[in-house]
Amino acid sequence: MDAPVAQLAYPKCVRLESKPHLFCPGCGHPEVLKAFGFAVDDLGIQRRVAFGVDIGCSLLAYDFFNIDTIETHHGRTVPVMCGVKRGNPDAVAVAYVGDGGAYAIGMGGLLNAAIRDEKIFTIVVHNGVYAMTGGQEAPTTLPGTITATTPYGADNHFIKGPDLVRHVNPTAWVARGITTRQLALRDLVKEGLQHVIDGKGFAFLEVLSPCTLNWGTVEHPDKTFEILEGKLAKTFKLGYF
Amino acid sequence: MTAEPSFFVSAPMAEKQFMMGNEVLARAARAAGATAMYGYPITPGSEILLWWAKESGSEQGKKDDMVFVQAEDEIGASFMLLGSTLAGRRSFTVTAGPGNILMQDAFSMAEAMRTPTVAFINMRGGPSTSTVIYSQSEVWLTAYGGNGNGYRIVYSTATLQELYDYGIKVFNIAWRYRFPTFLLSDGYQAKMMGEVELYDPQGKGIEMVPTERYLLEEKRDRPINEVVPKPEVHIRVQDGVEYSCYRNCLNLEEETLQVNMEIKEAWDKMAPEIEESETYGNAEAKVLVIAHGIVSQSAKAAIDATSGKARLFRPITINPFPRKALIEAARGAETIIVAESAINQLARIVRDALYDIQGPKMVEHFRPSIGIYPEEIVELIKNA
C-alpha cells in the first residue's frame, strides 16, 4: 500500500507491509484493531506494549502492528499476559481475545485474572459465534440463534462478560463498546490502556463486533448494522460498568 | 505441614541443614536466581508454594522483586509461567500427576517456541487422581507429553542433595539451550527430611546463565530468530526499533515441518553435551540393574549387598536419554534388571535404546506407585 496515503488512514504503529489485513470483508476485528492502534499512538506506548492474541480470528492480528506480539493458545492469552506483566512490570500487557476464547475455554483464566486484579488490559471481541472454526455456538449466542452447532436454535442462556467482571472486581475498569462507533471506541481503548499504565489494576473492554461471514451478511452491510445496533447493542448495554 | 512451619526463615548458605525435600527445591530455585513462581496447590508439591509465598513477601523477597502467584489451576499457572519467561524473568512452577497433565498444553507451546520454562515434577500415584504419595509413572508424560515430539530436557534426581544441585542446574540448562526443562522427582523425595548442603552456586564457581527477554527486548546477545524456529518469529524494524512478533498457529504443513526440524537440529546439537548418567558397582558384573530416581538408591543398596554380582546404570537425564552410555554399560551384561515404580515407562526407553543390541535378557520389576526395597532387587539379582 502507498505509504503516504496509508498513513492518513492507519495508525502509525500499524504494519503497512501486512495490509490488506487477513480478516474477512466486513469483519469487525480491523475496526477494533484500528481503534487500538490509534490509542497506542496517542499514548506514545508502541515500544512498551506486549500484545497477546488468542487462537481464533484474533490470531490473524499477529502481524497487524509493529508492536511486540505473541500469538498464544486458545483461551490462554489472559494467563500468558498476566505472566508477561508479572515478568516485566514496565510492559503494557494487552490480551486480545474473542468471545469463545474469553468466555468459554478461557473463562477460568479471565475471571481469576479479574479476581486477582492483574494489571493487564483485556479486550474481548464479541460477535456471538465461534467464527474461525465455522460459526458454532458461543457463550454469547442469543436464544434461538441458528448456528453450526445449534441447528434448531440456541438455548435460552448467554453470558454478559462485563457484568461478570464487575461482579468479581469492584475496582476494575470495565466497559463495553461497539465497532460502529469508532471514535468512542478509540476513547474507550485509551482509557483502558491508561488504567493499566497507571498501575490501577485490571481493565476490561468488550466490543460488539460483526462477523459478516457467519451472520450471512457479507453483501448486506445494512443488515450487519441492524444486527449490531438493533439487536446486540440493545441486549448488551454499551458504556461503563 | 502447618501454615507457619518453623523452618520458614531465611537460612544461611553453604552449610548443612536438616530439611524437607520440597523446601530444598524451593531454596534451590531461589539460589538459582529465580524470582517468580506460578503454581497451583497439589500434593506432593504444595510446600514449595507455601515457601515461595512466604519468601516473596519477606523484606528480602520484596527487595529482590520476587513474584508468587497462586493460579486458578495448573493451566493458568503454566501459561503464566510461559508469559513470565517470555518477559525474560527466571520463573518456574511445581506440579504432579493430574496437574502435570494440565500443564502439558503450556509445555507444548514452550517446546514449540523454545521457551526455557522450568518445572519441578514431584511424581505421585497414577493414573488420574490416584494417590498423593509416590510413583514413577510420569516419566513418559514429562519427557514426551503434549502434541510435539518430546523435545524437553528431563533430569531425574535420586537424593535430597540432588534436589538442590539439579534444582539449580535446571535453570542454567533451560536458559543456555532454550528448551523446557524439568526436574523429575517424586513424593518420597519431596516429603522426606534429611541433611542437605545448601550453597551459593556462584560461590562454587557454577556459571549462572543469564536470562533474556523474548518480548520487549532492546538488545540481544543472540538474535531471537536463531532460537525460536524461523516460521514462528517475525522481526521487523520501525524507526530504528526492533519489534518481535511470535506465531503459534501456522498455515502450512511445510512451515510446521520446518519448525520441527529446526527444533530437532538444536536438540541433536545439544543432546551429547548434556546427557548424564551414573554407573555404580563392579564393572565386570554380569547383572546390570537399570533404575532411575529414588529406585536407583535401593538398587545401590542391593548391589552393595550382593558382593560384586551386579552393577547399576542410572540415567540422570531421562531426556535426552544417555543411549551411548547405556550401550557401553550393557556391554558384557548377561542379565538386565529394570526396576521402576511404574509399568514399562523406563523399560520401554531402555528397550528402545538397546534395540540393536543382541544378548542380555531383560527382567522387569514393575511396582507401579509403590516404593521398591533393596531386598526385592537383591532377590532379583540372586535369581538372575
User: Over the stretch A182-240, which tens digit does the pLDDT of each residue have?
Assistant: 999 999 999 999 999 999 999 999 999 999 999 999 999 999 999 999 999 999 999 99
Q: What's the CATH number of domain B278-383, 3.40.50.920, 3.40.190.10, 3.40.50.2300, 3.30.70.1290?
A: 3.40.50.920
Q: pLDDT truncated to tens, each residue of chain B (384 aa)?
A: 333 333 334 444 567 999 999 999 999 999 999 999 999 999 999 999 999 999 999 999 999 999 999 999 999 999 999 999 999 999 999 999 999 999 999 999 999 999 999 999 999 999 999 999 999 999 999 999 999 999 999 999 999 999 999 999 999 999 999 999 999 999 999 999 999 999 999 999 999 999 999 999 887 778 899 999 999 999 989 999 999 999 999 999 999 999 999 999 999 999 999 999 999 999 999 999 999 999 999 999 999 999 999 999 999 999 999 999 999 999 999 999 999 999 999 999 999 999 988 778 999 999 999 999 999 999 999 999
Whether A21 has its CB under 8 Å from any CB of chain B: the answer is no
Supply the CATH classification number for the domain A3-240: 3.40.50.970
Q: What pLDDT does residue A180 have?
A: 96
Pairwise CB contact (< 8 Å): A80 & B88: no
pLDDT at B7: 37
Residue A221, number of CB atoms within 10 A of its CB:
13
Q: Residue B19: which of B167, B200, B133, B190 has the closest Cα?
A: B190
Chain A contact for B106, CB < 8 A?
A: yes
Distance (Å) from the C-alpha of residue A218 to the closest C-alpha of chain B? 24
How many angstroms away from the CA of A232 is the closest CA of chain B? 30
Residues shown for chain A: 241
Quick one: pLDDT at residue B356? 84
Locate B165 and state its grid cell.
Answer: 544441585
Whether residue A7 has pLDDT greater than 90: no
Cβ within 8 Å, pair A63-B245: yes
Contact A86 B80 (CB under 8 A): yes
Domain borders along chain B are: 15-198, 278-383
Q: Please give, rounded to a whole number of angstroms, the shortest distance from the CA of B189 to a CA of chain A.
A: 29
Which cell goes with A11?
495508525
Which one of A65, A66, A80 has the shortest CB-CB distance to B83?
A80
Best of B64, B86, B93, B251 to substitute, by most chain A Cβ atoms within 10 angstroms, is: B86
What's the mean pLDDT in A81-90?
Answer: 98
Q: What is the distance in angstroms between the Cα of B97 and the nearest Cα belonging to chain A?
A: 20
SS3 B64: coil
Q: Where are the domains of chain A?
A: 3-240
Contact of B74 with B106, CB cutoff 8 Å: no
- For B207, counting Cβ atoms within 10 Å of its Cβ (0-12 exposed, 13-18 middle, 19+ buried), the class is exposed
pLDDT band at A19 (very low <50, low <70, confident <90, very high): very high
Q: Where are the alpha helices (DSSP H) in chain A?
A: 3-9, 29-43, 77-87, 99-103, 107-115, 161-168, 182-197, 212-215, 221-225, 233-235
Q: pLDDT digits over A199-211, tens only?
A: 999 999 999 999 9
Fold of B15-198: Rossmann fold (3.40.50)
Is B83–A83 a contact, with Cβ atoms under 8 angstroms apart?
Answer: yes
Cα four-point dihedral sign B189, B190, B193, B198: positive
Q: Which of B72, B91, B243 sits opposite A87 (nearest CB)?
A: B91
The reply to whether A86 touches chain B by the CB within 8 Å rule is yes
Q: Is B147 on the interface with A (CB under 8 A)?
A: no
Q: Mind giving me the DSSP string for B177-231? A: HTS-EEEEEEHHHHH-EEEEEE--TTTTT---PPP--SSS-S--SS-GGGTS-GG
Q: Show residues of chain B in contact with A111, CB under 8 Å.
A: 72
The per-residue pLDDT for A2 is 59
A106 pLDDT more than 70: yes
Do the domains spanning B15-198 and B278-383 agree at the CATH topology level? yes
With CA atoms as reference, the chain A residue closest to B110 would be: A72
The pLDDT value given to residue A140:
97
Query: Would you tell me the crossing angle of helices A107-115 and B74-86 to the nearest 10 degrees?
Result: 70
The answer to whether the CB of A101 falls within 8 A of the CB of A92 is no
Cβ contacts below 8 Å, chain A against chain B, sum to: 141
Contacts of B105 in chain A (CB under 8 A): 73, 76
Helices (H), chain B: 21-31, 46-57, 59-63, 74-86, 97-112, 139-144, 160-177, 187-191, 253-274, 294-305, 323-330, 346-353, 374-383
Which tens digit of pLDDT belongs to each residue from B271-308?
A: 999 999 999 999 999 999 999 999 999 999 999 999 99
Among B46, B34, B122, residue whose Cα is nearest residue B84: B34
For the whole prediction, is pTM greater than 0.90? yes
Give the chain A residue whose CA is nearest to the CA of B251. Answer: A60
Q: What is the mean pLDDT of residues A17-33?
A: 95
pLDDT of residue A176: 98
| Integer CA distances (angstroms), A45 to A12, A51, B129, in order | 11, 12, 46
d(CA B79, CA B83): 6
- When pLDDT is averaged across residues A67-82 and rounded to a whole number, the result is 97
ipTM reported for the complex, 2 dp? 0.96
* Spacing of C-alpha B33 from chain mean position: 17
User: Is A16's Cβ below 8 Å from some Cβ in B?
Assistant: no
What pLDDT score was predicted for residue B6? 35
User: Quick check: A108 and B234 CB within 8 A?
Assistant: no
A111·B72 Cβ contact <8 A: yes
Is A70 an 8 Å CB contact of chain B?
Answer: yes
Neighbouring residues of B117: CB distance < 8 A, sequence distance ≥ 6:
B78, B81, B82, B85, B91, B92, B93, B106, B107, B110, B174, B180, B181
> Does the CB of B118 have a partner CB in chain A at under 8 Å?
no
